[in-house]
Chain A
Amino acid sequence: MSLIFRRILFVFLLGLTATLVNGVARAQSAAMPSPHRTIRLTSQKITLPFGDKVFAGDGKIVKVTNQHCLLCHSRGMIDTQPPLTLDTWKKEVDKMRTAYGCPLRADQTAEIADFIAHAASAPAPNGN
């Protein structure tokens, strides 16, 4: 099982428990008056999309990219970039590793940057 799908399964189980707990919390949401303009604050609960679109293909580099570049943001972050040079993509991948903790080795940067530079120049129309 890929890293990303193991994560999803894990959070699914946590989430099940969470839904039960939340059901109770919501029932007691209180209205609270304020002295001048009355702003009522009531407990909130929403559902957010995950944005699970991956890069298509089954080469090793596709897999490595899907496992690493979609961990912290959906593919839309990549697909909506302007045309960037390979050098800029290398800097971006390095930034993801060093500034944000993308679990890649330094020697994987060039290969991923090269793949992304081509994949991102042909974004799907419903980018997410």
Chain B
Amino acid sequence: MEALVNPTDYVNAESPAPSTSGPLPRRSFLKMTAGLIAGGILGRSLPAFAAKLIQLPFANGSRQLVRFPQKGEMILLRQRPPLLETPFEVFDRGVFTPNEQFFVRWHLPVIPTSIDVNTFRLRVDGHVRTPIELSLKEILRQPQIELAAINQCSGNSRGFSSPRVPGGEWGNGAMGNALWTGVTLKSILDRAGVLPGAVQVRFNGLDTGQMPETPLFMKSLDLDHAMDGEVMVAYGMNGTQLPMLNGFPLRLIVPGWYSTYWVKMLSHIEVLDKPDDNYWMHTAYLIPDTPGGTMAPDAKDVKMVPINRLVPRSFITNLRDNATVRRGVPIAVRGIAFGGDTGVKSVDFSSDGGTTWQNAALGKDYGRYSFRRWNATFVAKQPGDYKLMVKATNSNDLAQPATPTWNPGGFMRNVIEQVTVHTA
């Protein structure tokens, strides 16, 4: 189990009050998922007059900054279903990402916009001794666990893919780190009693498609993984309940694995006696079965497998590309790093485009699945440009690559990042 976190160590504003209006205009476009605990009201588009624009550094990277219910200012990628990216400066403020600015990623457009905590049930069935339905009260009564873990979209940084690929065109902000509170998935599966012959466990949330033909967004884990005591069903995020758009009331947490498995508004757990062949496991979210998931853009007949473990990454958070720095004085550089499916072993910093590297100092360790702060300094002795680079190596000795990953899905980018600054 990972170390407990002192609640004062993380950046976390108060959870906002349940919002019925929010800053969005309401109009009489109403929409309802009949029969569900969920009723949804859909306003129309966001007001164009409020538009604050930013430019992500790739072709067609113009984006609006917006506020959705229970969320702070976010980069808008798509309104329905919402895709909201964390503005990068948020990552400089602390290793825990505030709930209000944690990225948002839905696939299917029919998302419940109201949840009643008294009637919500988590169903567990399939290849089990006793199918069960658990209320939130029952889940809250179970032994509690806490874990700091990064939730990163498989396609984080897709917009930097070269050649470009279709998909959600994120910058680097489709990731976040939170302290998750909940119960082990194992404890829930044990209550239902997994039968011999079970091989995988499948997860589904309350979201559904607009057309009945659209496959439900379901993801599966191998039984051993599901029972490892770390995969959890969370009801707490940074010390409070989850925002609706981040999966209230329950979200699956799969530490060290890409976000696609972290099913939101988790409502159904199904134990399978054969491997899941549903669309989102079998056809979507596949990566080349190669180290780092990379391949040549023109390669043919590459074996593909479901995406899985995170790979190491690191970022400079306090200096932007093109920033001006003072000459002849020590300049503090800092950022965040993560090891992926294991902890950070070291972070190296270079101020000369990777010719020489120095060991960065590592900040407090919140557990192997968390962001870790790093710090370094350098002096710009000569006038001119300085190419700053940062590279993380994880405790399995896997280091970030010098050349970018490419695959047709635009997944798993983790190339060494660089920022160019110049002297005043």
Contacts of B396 in A (CB 8 A): none
> Is A56 among interface residues, defined by CB-CB distance under 8 A?
no
B20 x A47 contact (CB < 8 A): yes
Q: Is A64 an interface residue (CB 8 A)?
A: no
Write out the residue numbers on chain A whose beta carbons fall within 8 Å of the beta carbon of B235. Answer: 34, 39, 41
A45→B42 CA distance, assembly (Å): 12
Query: Who on chain A is nearest to B136 by CB?
Result: A41
Give the chain A neighbours of B398 by CB distance below 8 A.
Answer: none
Residues of B contacting A126 in the complex (Cβ-Cβ under 8 angstroms):
46, 48, 51, 53, 64
In the assembled complex, which residues on chain A have CB atoms less than 8 Å from the CB atom of B212?
101
Compute how far the CA of A119 lies from the CA of B209 in the bound complex, rounded to whole angstroms: 25
Q: At the interface, yes or no: A19 with Cβ under 8 Å from chain B?
A: yes
In the complex, residue of chain B having the shortest beta-carbon distance to the beta carbon of A40? B241
Residue A2 at the chain B interface, CB threshold 8 Å: no
Beyond A22-B39, A82-B58, A127-B63, 6 additional contacts (C-beta under 8 Å) are: A12-B29, A14-B34, A25-B114, A47-B21, A48-B24, A126-B51
Q: Which of A1-54 contact B (CB under 8 A)?
A: 8, 11-19, 21-22, 25-26, 28-30, 32-37, 39-53
Q: Which of B21, B32, B46 contacts A128 (CB 8 A)?
A: B46
Total A residues in contact with B, Cβ cutoff 8 Å = 62
Alpha-carbon gap, A47 to B69, bound state (A): 7
Residues on B with beta carbons closer than 8 Å to the beta carbon of A42: 18, 117, 241
Flag whether B383 is at the interface (Cβ < 8 A). Answer: no
Contact A82 B117 (CB under 8 A): no
Task: Please determine whether A43 and B144 come into contact, CB atoms closer than 8 angstroms.
Answer: no
The answer to whether A80 and B169 have CB atoms under 8 Å apart is: yes
Q: In the complex, what distance in Å separates the CA atom of A46 from the CA atom of B64?
A: 21
CB distance from A22 to the nearest CB of B (A): 5
* Residue from A47, A76, A83 in contact with B79 in the complex, judged by beta carbons closer than 8 Å: A76
Which of A33, A48, A52 gathers the greatest number of chain B CB atoms within 10 Å? A48
Kindly state whether residue A57 has any CB partner on chain B within 8 Å.
no
**Which A71-124 residues have a C-beta within 8 angstroms of B?**
71-74, 76-77, 79-84, 88, 92, 99-103, 123
B182: nearest chain-A partner, CB-CB:
A39
Q: Is the CB–CB distance between A48 and B114 below 8 Å?
A: no
Contacts of B45 in A (CB 8 A): 49-53, 74, 128
A-B contact pairs, 25 of them (CB 8 A): A12-B28, A16-B30, A17-B32, A18-B32, A35-B144, A42-B241, A44-B114, A44-B115, A47-B20, A47-B22, A47-B26, A47-B42, A47-B43, A48-B111, A49-B45, A49-B68, A51-B78, A52-B44, A72-B109, A72-B209, A72-B211, A80-B77, A80-B168, A82-B59, A100-B214
Instruction: Determine if B40 is an interface residue (Cβ-Cβ < 8 Å).
Output: yes
